[in-house]
Amino acid sequence: MERALFLSFALTAIVAALNVLWRRHPLHSALALLVVLGALTGLYILLGAYFLAVVQVIIYAGAILVLFLFVIMLLNIRAEEARLERRPIFRWLAVPFALLLGAEIVYLVRVFEENPIPSGTSIGVTEAVGRELFTTYLLPFEITSIVILIAILGAVVLARRG
């Protein structure tokens, strides 16, 4: 059951990620990325990171991707007309890189095959994450608010300049 869920989420994520790559219109790519984020939410739940699963939906799917969609629709852009320029050297370079990645994944699966994720009580519940966030990591957590504030200021300043 758990493996079936994992395989369905993983396949969904990879196929949708390939769609992000293949689609020419950025709107289609953004919607495919939404599917990737949803599948990753399922994987987070399988890993027991419940808080992160909710945050993933709220922040990534709810805020960041909606921002992308707004900008794409605001700019009224067309699909990319020209495919990438065909330099044969790059196509031949792709083969060794793909082999390298494949070998790396096979090695990884071999090495960690008998290391399953420990099941049982999950550590990523909201209470535990919140406790950790507001005790051990209080200073970094406060600094993130400054980061967000600077980002807002930067976006406003850039928008006013135009």
Partner 1 sequence: MTTIPISWYLAVAAVLFTIGTVTVFVKRNAIAMLLGIELMLNAANLTAVTFSSYFRELAGQILVFFVMVVAAAEAAVGLAIIVLLFRHRETLNVDEAQLLKL
Taking CB under 8 A as the criterion, which residues in 137-156 touch partner 1? 137, 140, 144, 147-148, 150-152, 154-155
DSSP-assigned states of every residue in 63-115: IIHHHHHHHHHHHTPPPP-SPPP--HHHHHHHHHHHHHHHHHHHHHHHHTTT-
Residue in the block written with tokens 């390298």: 100
Nearer to partner 1, 30 or 88 (CB): 30
Q: Which amino acid is at 37?
A: L
Q: What is the smallest separation between the CB atom of 88 and partner 1, expressed in angstroms?
A: 15
CA atoms within 13 A on the CB side of 45: 14
Q: What is the smallest separation between the CB atom of 66 and partner 1, expressed in angstroms?
A: 10
Which of 73, 99, 103, 133 binds partner 1 (CB under 8 A)? It is 133
Which of 8, 73, 103, 132 binds partner 1 (CB under 8 A)? It is 132
Q: Are 78 and 24 in contact (CB under 8 A)?
A: no
Q: How many residues bind partner 1 (CB under 8 A)?
A: 78
Q: What is the smallest separation between the CB atom of 92 and partner 1, expressed in angstroms?
A: 15
Establish if 73 lies at the interface with partner 1 (CB under 8 A): no
Residue in the block written with tokens 């065909």: 86
Q: Which 103-122 positions form the footprint of partner 1 (CB under 8 A)?
A: 104-105, 108-119, 122
Establish if 6 lies at the interface with partner 1 (CB under 8 A): yes
Q: Are 9 and 18 in contact (CB under 8 A)?
A: no
